[in-house]
Structure 1
Amino acid sequence: MTASLPPMPSAAVWKLSGAQVINRLRLVTGLILFTYVLTHFSNHLLGLVSLDLMQAKQGDFMGFWWSKPGTYTLLGAVLIHLGLAYWALYRRRSLRLKRWEAMQLLTGALIPYMLIEHVITTRVAFELYDLQDSYTYVLWMLFGGEKQALQAATLVFAWLHGCIGLHYWLRLNPWYDRVKPWLFALAILMPTLVLISFFQTGREVMVMMRDPAWQAQTIAAMKLPPPDKAAHLIALRDGIRWGMLGLLALVFFARYARNLIEARQQQVRVHYHGGKAVAVPKGRTLLEISRMNNIPHASVCGGRGRCSTCRVRVGQGAEHLPPPDANEARVLARISAPPGVRLACQVRPDCDLEIAPLLPAQAMPHDGFAKPEQTHGVEMEIAVLFADLRGFTTLSEQKLPFDVVFILNRYFAEMGEAIGAAGGAVTQFSGDGVMALFGYEREDPTYAAQSALKAARRMAERLEALNQDFSHDLDAPLRMGIGIHQGLAIVGEMGHGRATGLTAIGDTVNTASRLEGLSKEFHAQLVVSEQVLARAGIGLEGAARHSIVPRGRTVPLEIFALARALDLPLLR
């Protein structure tokens, strides 16, 4: 798949695009609305203590929202968020949604319809007719009929809608996994406690209303509007509900009309790597084309141009595509995407294209995190380390499966920490073996060699400490063989699905693995090539020197064997 590529945008193009403005507005208005719900719920929680406390502290929690700036902020957020939702629904060429997208869309459509009566009979009635919409009034109006169930469902839907939005926004951050369990617990606990408070205070009000004197005094303090004014509020409620339904119907009608028009236009063919090709009208994004044709395609953020997991490599036809806009270019730059890679959710082809999705359909949020350029596949000089436990097969036959797994996990943990502390990255745990790379994050051969040797020494130290811990459990101490070689290798993320990870391939890797195998033959804990020592700037005068010819090569390789990796000189 080769083609001339559209130029990447210059620095002058790095400004807010239309799609980016819409995404920002959706996010900001959503956060405003969620903040309102959170403050409202926080006030509700005081009902677990008493109705009087909940009422007394209402001004502390809701004071800003009652003010003119707060009112205009809230009203603007509602209108903009709702309008953008209708616009997003219209813009979608396909309604094939993931479960979370469908749930967010459904709750978002129901919340305004369900909530409008509550808004009309409280805030609007206060503004128009000076109704005193205290908690006592609200609970009295809601309890005793089907309205209490409707209000409870509205509370849950509003909270669920906001939590879904927050989750799929925050999950694109590397730190989110660390706090997710706490946020999930809060997401469950908050509405549960609010509903308990709601029903507890509601029953309390209904019990007090049985006292005729208290009921008369309370209703008088509410300043209920007369019947004609109440009828006006009901008419206003019904009018807004019909208006929302009409607007929703208009959106679907506009979608239908647009689809009819586009169906008569010239179609484009999208060829997927692997042989499948589909013909679709112009105007659809590559992600929508995949969904409409039941072609699995990753999209963690739901096609909002944030996660990069829908990215594709474009072949034939790439030269006819417009360059990425500012939003797409920023996301591609974040992941160090090579030329020819585009976001499927942002590209609307108007010509035939050949594409290859770069991630499996089950891609996770971390697949969209910022990554170094090396993960996409580069040839560079690195140091490669292989390590293997000696005689562990025999040991495993003498131990219970639980003991074998426990010992291996301790060994892997110790070796992994030693490698990481030296600046390396473990790329593979296989059987009782370990593979690690050094120097792939920066092109510094000296750093790579010294880091690998530091790791070997630290691994030997950790193994001795581990043998002390297991001295009463093992008949003989654990023994290890290490091989280290340095040279050019191809580095990148390889694999499939969740088994994808950083690794390296090439002669250098094969030779390092061979040196690890020779450590057993030479009765050595460490076998290291001359290239590594030369790059590190050290010599091993007391080590046994050997000359081997690696498989597939004709030039001998000079290597050194050390009985103990602890005999390596200390490196700073």
Structure 2
Amino acid sequence: MAINRRDIKGNGRGTVLQQARLWSGLVLLVYATGHFINHGLGLVSLSWMDGMLTVMSAIWSSVPGTVLLYGAFAIHILLGVLSVLSIRSLKMPFWRWFQIALGLAIPYWLVSHIIVTRGSELATGVPVTYLQELSLLWPVSAVKQNALLLLVWVHGIIGVHFWLRPKSWYKDGLLVLLPIAIAVPIVAMAGWMTAAKRELLRLSLDTDGAEAVDMAARVAAVREAVSDYQAIAQGWVAISLSVLLLVFVVLIIAQGFRRRVQVTYGNGLTVDAAPGKTLLDVSRDNRIDHLSVCGGRARCSTCRVLVMSEQDGLSPVGPAERKLLDKINAEPNMRLACQARVQGDVNIRPIIQPKRAVSTPLQSDPFGWGVEREVSVLQLKIKEFRPFVDKTLPYDVIYVLNQLLDLMVEQIEAQDGHVDKFTNDGLTAVFGLETHKTQAARSALYAAARCQALVEGGDGAQQLAAPLKIGIGVHSGRAVIGRVGKSSDQTAPSPVTAIGNVSLIAEALEMVTRRSDASIVYSKYVHELCGLGVANMLGTPSEFAIQGLAGKVEAVMVKNSSPLRKKLELTQS
């Protein structure tokens, strides 16, 4: 089944080690963000920079702050090393290699920066001021400083992106988060460089010259005190990175000499794999499209597979995988490909296919798997349908019913609505699959008014072989949207259906029309979305208790649809 990669909900938190790496990284990113904002204040003044530096120092130089910061730093590095050494496939997505490369480069550049700041304080006993730091960095270390800033920021943002990506709100949240992610490093670089040039110019124009001489002496003292330590520290970091890469290469080469096992996919394709690799790694090694929205961290369930053979060919289910599988009520033979490691021959079938891997006409269908979205639901039923059937010949029943529904569908589709299902006395339609919730509400309500207009009089009424009355309920809200009952090969798609309270409320509002003279009953929420002003001008405001829901639903009962239709046309223009 095809899937919209951005519409998957997050279901899991990953393993304990993955959570530790995530949260230690978030601590470091919080510190870096504050530090970068501090740099950005250089666009205002040096005093603002020093003011925020005082606050930052009070937090992070305290005993709890120091333990938290350096503890997170140590944990993140240690778990990063373990993560690199656990890699069993070189065919990973580009973003993963890019994040690893950034992570390996950061310590080499960062250790020099730490020694110049914290190290100089320890060596000289004099707290580092922003003016001193700017004098140390500008202009000789400007490129290095900006490179380090970008390395840290991009590495952290990649991690945050794949942490938040499975969240249902993340796609909409990107409209706010992406500009912030771009602005922070730009403002930070502009801020510290602007402040450096401004302050050094001020010192050069100082007629007394005492401050400039004092600052030059302090900068020279710091450089002399830490220069040897910088070289030694960077040397050890370079050696450590070299050893890490050497061990990594040895592990990858050694893996090639291990006994091979076979992994068979549902389409009959069989590939060889080295024991210890995850099923996701096996798919990537063999260029088999395998969806993994969270990047293989057990935080979503999109990589899950059905195991068609005995499960002794896979590693046991771990705590993180078990928690996620239980949350989605998975079958006993379902596994997460990012967590299950091959130990012997195994036969699997991936459940969700990336859109590019689907060769059927529905490869671009975002509703092949359930997504959550705010939509508007229109519920339409024929009033007094049973008496009509009892007194009408069978042929005429079907003929009139088809006449009516054809007219209704024409109006619904004209407003970009999608017919969910037909019943023996009406239909259900969904609006908002491709439009904003406001436009969806207006389209649903306008389609309802047009349907009533056709039935109440005009060409539509003349086309019907027998006079009929209809009742319509309309409500808007969040729902699970998907195709229910679709064949596994996706060649015979079922209509899109909306599952949730929005459908329940729309149906309940339609039932109100059966016991009243109202032709349309729509919720107050729909009224507000459409911006229709005073409800009394269009119908009668009412409240209804709906079985299974707490509280009452406010709604508007419309007897004559003409004012509603005209109001919608007027406000649309």
One fold, TM greater than 0.5? yes
Instruction: Identify the residue that residue 316 of structure 1 maps to in structure 2.
Output: 309
- How many Å separate the matches in 1 of 2:27 and 2:368? 26
Aligned pairs for 1:176-215 (under 5 A) are: 176-211=170-205
Partner SS state of residue 278, structure 1: strand
| 2:284 corresponds to 1:291 | yes
- How many Å separate the matches in 2 of 1:214 and 1:270? 79
- How many Å separate the matches in 2 of 1:72 and 1:368? 48
| 2:407 corresponds to 1:390 | yes
Matched-pair contact (CA < 8 Å) for 2:263–2:348: yes
Instruction: Identify the residue that residue 450 of structure 2 maps to in structure 1.
Output: 466
Residues 145-188 of structure 1: CA distance to partner in whole angstroms, max 9, x if unpaired?
3x112212222222222222111111222122232211112112
Aligned pairs for 1:248-397 (under 5 A) are: 248-362=241-355, 389-390=406-407
Instruction: Identify the residue that residue 104 of structure 2 maps to in structure 1.
Output: 109
Aligned pairs for 1:95-174 (under 5 A) are: 95-145=90-140, 147-174=141-168
Tell me by how many angstroms 1:417 deviates.
Answer: 14
Q: Structure 1 residues 461, 114: CA separation in 2 closer, same or farther (over 3 Å shift)?
A: closer
Q: Structure 1 residues 233, 369: CA separation in 2 closer, same or farther (over 3 Å shift)?
A: farther
User: Taking CA–CA contacts closer than 8 Å with sequence separation of 6 or more, which of the two structures ends up with the larger relative contact order?
Assistant: 2
Instruction: Identify the residue that residue 559 of structure 1 maps to in structure 2.
Output: none
Q: In structure 2, what residue type is equivalent to 1:73?
A: L
Residues 171-222 of structure 1: CA distance to partner in whole angstroms, max 9, x if unpaired?
2221222322111121122222222212211210221231366654255368
- How many Å separate the matches in 2 of 1:418 and 1:66? 67
Partner SS state of residue 417, structure 2: helix
Tell me by how many angstroms 1:32 deviates.
Answer: 0.4
Partner SS state of residue 298, structure 2: coil
Aligned pairs for 1:536-547 (under 5 A) are: none
Instruction: Identify the residue that residue 26 of structure 2 maps to in structure 1.
Output: 31
Instruction: Identify the residue that residue 47 of structure 1 maps to in structure 2.
Output: 42
Query: TM-score, normalising length from structure 1?
Result: 0.64
- How many Å separate the matches in 1 of 2:61 and 2:433? 60
Tell me by how many angstroms 1:496 deviates.
Answer: 7.4
Tell me by how many angstroms 1:68 deviates.
Answer: 2.5
Q: Structure 1 residues 324, 502: CA separation in 2 closer, same or farther (over 3 Å shift)?
A: farther
Identity %: 29
Instruction: Identify the residue that residue 375 of structure 1 maps to in structure 2.
Output: none
Q: In structure 2, what residue type is equivalent to 1:28?
A: W
- How many Å separate the matches in 2 of 1:469 and 1:144? 75
Matched-pair contact (CA < 8 Å) for 1:335–1:370: no
Aligned pairs for 1:86-97 (under 5 A) are: 86-97=81-92
Matched-pair contact (CA < 8 Å) for 2:120–2:225: no
Q: In structure 1, what residue type is equivalent to 2:135?
A: W
Query: TM-score, normalising length from structure 2?
Result: 0.64
Partner SS state of residue 415, structure 2: helix
Matched-pair contact (CA < 8 Å) for 2:315–2:341: no
- How many Å separate the matches in 2 of 1:95 and 1:310? 19
Residues 206-245 of structure 1: CA distance to partner in whole angstroms, max 9, x if unpaired?
2123136665425536873776x74552222222222222
Tell me by how many angstroms 1:35 deviates.
Answer: 0.8
Q: Structure 1 residues 97, 349: CA separation in 2 closer, same or farther (over 3 Å shift)?
A: closer
Instruction: Identify the residue that residue 556 of structure 2 maps to in structure 1.
Output: none
Q: Structure 1 residues 116, 215: CA separation in 2 closer, same or farther (over 3 Å shift)?
A: farther
Partner SS state of residue 295, structure 2: coil
Q: Structure 1 residues 109, 418: CA separation in 2 closer, same or farther (over 3 Å shift)?
A: farther
Matched-pair contact (CA < 8 Å) for 1:492–1:503: no
Q: Structure 1 residues 255, 155: CA separation in 2 closer, same or farther (over 3 Å shift)?
A: closer
Tell me by how many angstroms 1:262 deviates.
Answer: 3.3
- How many Å separate the matches in 2 of 1:23 and 1:133? 35
Matched-pair contact (CA < 8 Å) for 2:420–2:428: no
Q: In structure 2, what residue type is equivalent to 1:127?
A: L
Tell me by how many angstroms 1:136 deviates.
Answer: 0.9
Name structure 2 gaps, 5 residues minimum. Answer: 1-11, 357-363, 373-400, 435-442, 471-482, 498-506, 516-543, 547-573
Residues 357-397 of structure 1: CA distance to partner in whole angstroms, max 9, x if unpaired?
11113599x9999999xxxxxxxxxxxx999543988x9xx
Instruction: Identify the residue that residue 508 of structure 1 maps to in structure 2.
Output: none
Tell me by how many angstroms 1:74 deviates.
Answer: 1.1
Q: Structure 1 residues 80, 423: CA separation in 2 closer, same or farther (over 3 Å shift)?
A: farther
Q: Structure 1 residues 362, 160: CA separation in 2 closer, same or farther (over 3 Å shift)?
A: farther
- How many Å separate the matches in 2 of 1:417 and 1:160? 47
RMSD of aligned alpha carbons = 4.6
Q: In structure 1, what residue type is equivalent to 2:252?
A: N
Partner SS state of residue 15, structure 2: helix
Tell me by how many angstroms 1:339 deviates.
Answer: 2.3
Tell me by how many angstroms 1:117 deviates.
Answer: 1.9
- How many Å separate the matches in 2 of 1:129 and 1:417? 78
Matched-pair contact (CA < 8 Å) for 2:135–2:219: no
